[in-house]
């Protein structure tokens, strides 16, 4: 059991460090071109018809009061309900929603189990209702997740259109998530004290004196989850948090570019980069910057 605890801490460390590294890398990326697509939900009083502050005369000189409540509500509908998939690809929504919502429920299961583990460590007996809620949520999550994984795997492998965009990583991701749900279901079926075992295991992560021995299928389930933790930061599944930057730094970004401002400083640095493109129409020689190229007369080059 000690080895599993060590592996758990290592897997959690890789997960956190990997996510942090990915976020830092995104923050250090060059300024992205804006999408300029409306409606933008933080446009107070205008988002419902696709309007923006650009309607105002000299809009850049006026204070902007974004509507963060509507923005948050828009994000929640997209994150929890996959609103965009429902509107633009409804046949795909059923399996995708089941798969994603199951993960949200499992996060809730983990949060409640952590609360139960804290109670174990403090000597306060966890109320039976806590274990009951954990079991109910886990049953729904594992069942929904299995259904979603099977639907999405079927579509990925057999749908003629989706099959064109399916890679080996897509298939592996679905198999891994399905394995997590399957082992979780089997664990619950074979262990009537599933919730107690889970909270006991989490308590043992903090102090060895609370070490809780899991059943064989419990070991398998935890192992699948740890594999997911280590694997997650290096896959496209990081869209779970990368989407935040896509929306706020690209899709909804509308900060005015004022003289002497932060955006102008970023643009100046990018324009000063040396161009090394090989395309002959660019006429880059490895020494000219973007400013040099844009400032050229445009005469035909030999």
pLDDT digits (tens, 9 = 90+) for 270-282: 889 999 988 888 8
Res. 207: pLDDT tops 90:
no
pLDDT at 64 over 90: no
pLDDT cut 70: percent of the chain above it: 96
Cα angle for residues 157, 160, 163 (degrees, 5° grid): 45
Q: Is residue 126 pLDDT above 90, yes or no?
A: no
Q: Which residue has the tokens 């899709």?
A: 251
Mean pLDDT over 97-110 rounds to 97
What is the reported pLDDT for 32?
86
Q: How confident is the model at residue 149 (pLDDT cuts 50, 70, 90)?
A: very high
The interaxial angle of helices 194-204 and 128-158, nearest 10 deg, is 90
Does the pLDDT of residue 299 top 70, yes or no? no
For residues 59 and 258, the answer to whether their CB atoms sit within 8 Å is no
Which residues make beta-bridge pairs with 289? 274
pLDDT at 213: 78
Stated pTM of the model: 0.87
pLDDT at 261: 87
For position 298, what pLDDT does the model report? Answer: 54
pLDDT band at 211 (very low <50, low <70, confident <90, very high): low
Who contacts 170 (Cβ-Cβ below 8 Å, separation ≥6)? 156
pLDDT at 246 over 60: yes
Q: Which residue has the tokens 């997650």?
A: 232
Domains belonging to the chain, first-starting first, are: 2-30+83-234 (1.20.950.20)
Residue 234 has pLDDT above 60, yes or no: yes
* Mean pLDDT score, 202-209: 81
Start-to-end Cα distance in the chain: 72
User: Which DSSP string corresponds to 172-202?
Assistant: HHHHHHHHHHHHHHHHHHH-TTHHHHHHHHH
pLDDT of residue 97: 97
């Amino acid at each position: 059991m000690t080895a599993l605890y060590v592996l758990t801490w290592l897997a959690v460390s890789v997960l956190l460090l990997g996510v942090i590294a990915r976020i830092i890398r995104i923050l250090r990326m060059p300024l992205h071109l804006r999408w300029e697509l409306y409606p933008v939900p933080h446009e107070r009083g205008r988002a419902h018809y696709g309007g923006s502050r650009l309607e105002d005369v000299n809009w850049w000189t006026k204070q902007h009061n974004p509507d963060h409540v509507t923005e948050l509500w828009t994000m929640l509908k997209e994150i929890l309900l996959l609103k965009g998939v429902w509107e633009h690809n409804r046949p795909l929504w059923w399996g995708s929603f089941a798969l994603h919502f199951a993960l949200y429920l499992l996060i809730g299961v983990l949060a409640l189990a952590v609360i139960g583990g804290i109670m174990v460590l403090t000597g306060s007996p966890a109320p039976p209702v806590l274990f009951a809620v954990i079991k109910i949520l886990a049953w729904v999550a594992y069942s929904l997740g299995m259904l979603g994984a099977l639907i999405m795997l079927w579509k990925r492998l057999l749908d003629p259109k989706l099959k064109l965009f399916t890679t080996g990583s897509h298939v592996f991701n679905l198999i891994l998530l399905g394995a997590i749900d399957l082992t979780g279901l089997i664990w619950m079926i074979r262990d009537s004290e599933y919730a107690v075992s889970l909270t006991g295991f989490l308590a043992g992560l903090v102090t060895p004196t609370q070490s809780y021995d899991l059943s064989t299928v419990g070991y398998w389930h935890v192992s699948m989850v740890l594999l997911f933790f280590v694997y997650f930061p290096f896959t496209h599944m990081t869209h779970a948090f990368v989407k935040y930057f896509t929306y706020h730094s690209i899709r909804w970004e509308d900060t005015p570019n004022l003289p002497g401002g932060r955006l102008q400083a970023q643009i100046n640095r990018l324009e000063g980069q040396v161009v090394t493109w090989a395309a002959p129409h660019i006429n880059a020689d490895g020494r000219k910057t973007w400013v040099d190229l844009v400032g050229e007369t445009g005469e035909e080059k030999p």
